[in-house]
Amino acid sequence: MLQKAGVSFGLEIEITKHIMPGSGIGSSSASAAGAVVALNSLLDDRFSKLELVDFAMEGEKLASGSRHADNVAPCIYGGFTLVRSADPLDVVTLDFPPLWAAVIHPQIEVKTAEARAILPKEVSLKTATRQWGNVGSLVAGLAKGAYALIGRSLEDLIVEPVRKPLIPQFDEVKAACLSAGALGGGISGSGPSIFMLSKDPETAEKVQTAMRDVYSRTDIEFNTYLSEISGEGVRVVAGQE
C-alpha cells in the first residue's frame, strides 16, 4: 500500500483487540481492515474502499494462505456485501433491513487453513443448484426486507455439513436458537463460532440466552456477542484508543 502510494516513510502499527485467532469472527480481517483504513487516513484518504479491500486481502493471505475478501469487504464497506469476483475484485453492496446477530464463540480454535482443507473438492450439480438458489433468494430477501425469506435462505448445503463436526453442540445450539425465534444462521467464518440472525433485539437476546444455556451444560468455556448489523464500516475515531 505504501509502495503504491509512492511515499518514502514507513510506519509501526500496534493492534489491541479481543478476538482470538481461529475464532471464526474475523480476527485476521479485523487487523487487515483496520490497518489499511488507518493508513489511508494518514494518506489523506487517497484510496477507494475497493482498493482498500484489495490491500486488506494481502493480510488475509498472510493469515490463511489465500487472498479472499469475504470478511474484509463487509468490514470496510459495512453491512452486507457480495463478492462477485476476487480476481478481478468486484464487490457489490447490498440493501438490508434491520437485523441483529447473536454469536457464540466456544473457546476452542479452528484454524482457517485447516477448515478450508476439509472442504469437498467437487460438489454435485443438484447441490450446487440448490445452494445458488439460496444465495439468490438471500440477496432478494435482504433487498425486500422479507425476514421469512432470509430465514429460509440461510441454508448451507456445502460447507456446514463437513465443518460442523469440528464444533461441539452445533446442531443443539442451532435448534435451540431457532426455537427461540431466530431467523436462521450457521457457522461463522471457519468456526468454531456460531451466528444466528434475528429481526429485533428482543428476539436476539432470547437467542443469545438459548446459546448460553446449551454451552452452560458443557465444560467448554465460551463468550457470546450481540449486535445490530451496522451499515457503517471501519472508521477512524479521533482521540480514542
Kindly list the catalytic residues: 60, 112
Residues 41 and 5: their CA atoms lie apart, in Å, by 12
CB distance 61 to 149 below 8 Å: no
Residue 228 three-state SS = strand
Dist CA 59 CA 50 (whole Å) = 15
Site of grid cell 463487509: 74
A 10 A CB-CB count for 127 gives 14
Note whether 158 and 63 are within 8 A (CB). no
Q: What span, in angstroms and rounded, lies between the C-alpha atoms of 23 and 190?
A: 8
Q: Locate all alpha helices (DSSP H) within the chain, ordered by sequence.
A: 2-5, 27-42, 49-64, 72-77, 112-117, 125-144, 147-153, 160-163, 170-179, 201-216
CA–CA dist 239, 236 (Å, integer): 9
3-class secondary structure, 68: coil
CA distance 91 to 108: 32
